């Protein structure tokens, strides 16, 4: 019993460490992940590492290699475009549904999340505080949608989209005002205008998609020059 509990705690710790390294691109796309190597470095059992890697596979952040372990999931511009387009359609619908419900508690929670996000800053960065504040605002925006499965799908899409954002953030240049975009979303949500919230949320995410598309083209061009 104690051994099983210990291995479970080890697995959770390795999962968090690897997930953070993948999300921030400390572990680059397609990097090999060797179970024995990770277990030795972190002083945990190989079983705990395999369990963590299996969970990351379910998150679509790791890809199993038959008879050869695991690797970090690759990243492609076409995949990014599809991902952000899908997220825009889902999240804008959920945000509109939450707005239509319009509970006072939800509006207060959203305003609180916005204040916390503004306190950290809203510019593209890999700073953990900024990323956490941004995620909390987007989660608060859809929290009252009423669909558990939609929220689970959002979790998957958001995690994958943040990985692309971290990967290309240095190449994200001007052309937008994220503070204004978030403030407009908050204002429309508090006013109960679900149609406007849907349009603003969709445009906000697609704007990020288009900026990332340009950034990834730059990265691909640099890779070809090497």
> pLDDT tens, 142-170?
999 999 999 999 998 998 898 888 887 76
Contacts of residue 115, defined as CB under 8 A and 6 or more positions apart, other chains included, come to none
Residues 68 and 161 in one domain: no
**Residue-level pLDDT at 142:** 98
Q: Across the beta sheet with 62-65, what order do the strands follow?
A: 32-33, 69-72, 62-65
Residues 54 and 131 in one domain: no
Residues 112 and 67 in one domain: no
**Residue-level pLDDT at 20:** 86
Domain boundary among 72, 96, 122: 72
Residues 161 and 81 in one domain: yes
Domain boundary among 72, 105, 127: 72
**Residue-level pLDDT at 11:** 92
Residue 40 sits in a domain of what CATH number? 1.10.10.10
Q: Which residues of 112-140 are buried (b: 16+ CB within 10 A; e: fewer)?
A: ebbebbeebebebbbeeebbebbebbbbb
What stretches in the chain show pLDDT beneath 70? 1-5, 121-127, 170-175, 220-226
Residue 124 sits in a domain of what CATH number? 1.20.120.530
Residues 83 and 185 in one domain: yes
**Residue-level pLDDT at 60:** 86
Residues 125 and 18 in one domain: no
**Residue-level pLDDT at 85:** 97
Domain boundary among 17, 48, 72: 72
**Residue-level pLDDT at 24:** 81
Residues 82 and 100 in one domain: yes
Domain count, the chain: 2
Residues 128 and 32 in one domain: no
Domain coverage including residue 9 = 2-72
Residues 21 and 129 in one domain: no
**Residue-level pLDDT at 1:** 42
CB contact at 8 A, 137 and 182? yes
Residues 32 and 141 in one domain: no
Residues 125 and 32 in one domain: no
Residues 64 and 150 in one domain: no
* Whole-prediction pTM: 0.81
**Residue-level pLDDT at 206:** 95
């Amino acid at each position: 019993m104690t051994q099983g509990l210990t291995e479970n705690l080890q697995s959770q710790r390795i999962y968090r460490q690897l997930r953070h390294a993948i999300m921030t691109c400390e572990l680059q796309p397609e990097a090999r992940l060797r179970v024995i190597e990770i277990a030795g470095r972190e002083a945990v059992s190989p079983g705990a590492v395999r369990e963590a890697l299996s969970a990351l596979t379910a998150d679509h952040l790791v890809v199993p290699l038959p008879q050869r372990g695991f690797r970090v999931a690759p990243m492609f511009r076409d995949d990014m475009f599809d991902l952000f387009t899908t997220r825009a359609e889902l999240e804008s619908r959920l945000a509109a549904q939450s707005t239509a419900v319009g509970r006072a508690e939800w509006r207060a929670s959203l305003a609180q999340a916005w204040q916390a996000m503004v306190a950290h800053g809203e510019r593209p960065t890999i700073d953990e505080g900024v990323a956490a504040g941004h995620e909390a605002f987007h989660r608060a925006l859809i929290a009252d949608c009423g669909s558990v499965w939609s929220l689970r799908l959002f979790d998957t899409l958001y995690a994958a989209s943040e990985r692309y954002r971290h990967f290309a953030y240095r190449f994200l240049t001007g052309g937008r005002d994220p503070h204004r975009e978030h403030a407009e979303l908050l204002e429309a949500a508090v006013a109960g205008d679900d149609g406007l919230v849907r349009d603003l949320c969709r445009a906000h995410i697609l704007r990020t998609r288009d900026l990332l598309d340009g950034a990834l083209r730059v990265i691909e061009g640099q890779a070809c020059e090497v």
